[in-house]
Amino acid sequence: MSDTNEWKLSLEQVAQYHRDGYLVAPDLLSREEVAAFLRHNEDVFAGRRKTGLTTHLEDEVWACVAGHPRIKAALTAFMGGRPMCIQTMMLAKMPEARGIAIHQDSYYIVTEPETLMACWIALDDADADNGGLCVVPGSHKGPLLEMDLPKDATQHASWTKDYEYRDRAGKTWTVPLHSAEVRGWDRSREVVLTAPAGGAVFFTGRTLHGSYRNESPARPRRAFACHYVREGSWVYRTDIQRQMAL
């Protein structure tokens, strides 16, 4: 696995992340690392193996990628303190598959203090044609917005689910969550990002982001999304409270 000896974010890149709420790192993983990770997950893509939000706690290869030295270096530069991985997701968007509506991750994952951030790794070349990631620059500086269920079923799937929350004192309660789309959303603010396989997008918990239907007839858009908090942060959802230190 590649290390950080010849890979380091510049001061300008760190400043861009804090200014825009995201940063594209086109060379996070090597092509060889991507190919090995895809091979490891062939059963996942074929539907023969199920994964969840904490597969990195059971699968050493997932843990190795989620805790990659370059990711650790970037997270440390962005958030300060020690990064802790709380969630990993395989996002396999095959041709004609729908995307995830524009939302803020902090709607789904509430932490105290609010240190949530994500690393979205492209496992295929990603662009507008195959449903690449969209972001809204500067949106992290605003508040958490009101969310509705997605309105366009041809572009985005809808779901609802109850989650258990627990605070530091041990009190528990149930919170109903649903697939989210910003209320009254205006698409003109979106920027569609391009990233080569092995490239990554880092963004904050408040950065508006999402994607649309894969319109390519033959190109998949597979991605590996990891969520992190700074050490000492409390995660309210009980299903992702166990943290993996980087």
CATH number at residue 236: 2.60.120.620
pLDDT value, residue 5: 56
Assigned domain for 5 exists: no
Count the domains in the chain: 1
Q: What is the pLDDT of residues 59-95, one digit of tens each?
A: 999 999 999 999 999 999 999 999 999 999 999 999 9
Lookup: tokens for 41: 């997950």
Q: 3-12, 153-162, 218-227: which has the minimum mean pLDDT?
A: 3-12
Q: Which long-range contacts (CB under 8 A, 24 or more apart) does 67-71 make?
A: 67/244, 67/246, 68/1, 68/2, 68/28, 68/29, 69/1, 69/2, 69/3, 69/4, 70/2, 70/3, 70/4, 70/7, 70/25, 70/28, 70/29, 71/28, 71/119, 71/200, 71/226, 71/246
Assigned domain for 3 exists: no
pLDDT value, residue 186: 84
| Structural domain for 16, as ranges | 11-245
Positive or negative torsion for Cα 4, 9, 14, 16 = negative
Assigned domain for 216 exists: yes
Alpha carbon distance 4, 70 (integer Å): 6
Q: What is the pLDDT of residues 26-58, one digit of tens each?
A: 999 999 999 999 999 999 999 999 999 999 999
Q: Are 22 and 119 in contact (CB under 8 A)?
A: no
Assigned domain for 144 exists: yes
Assigned domain for 125 exists: yes
Assigned domain for 4 exists: no
pLDDT value, residue 60: 98
Quick check: pTM over 0.85? yes
Q: What number is the average pLDDT over the span 179-206?
A: 95
Residue 234: band (very low, low, confident or very high) from pLDDT cuts 50, 70, 90: very high
pLDDT value, residue 183: 92
Q: What is the pLDDT of residues 2-17, one digit of tens each?
A: 555 567 899 999 999 9
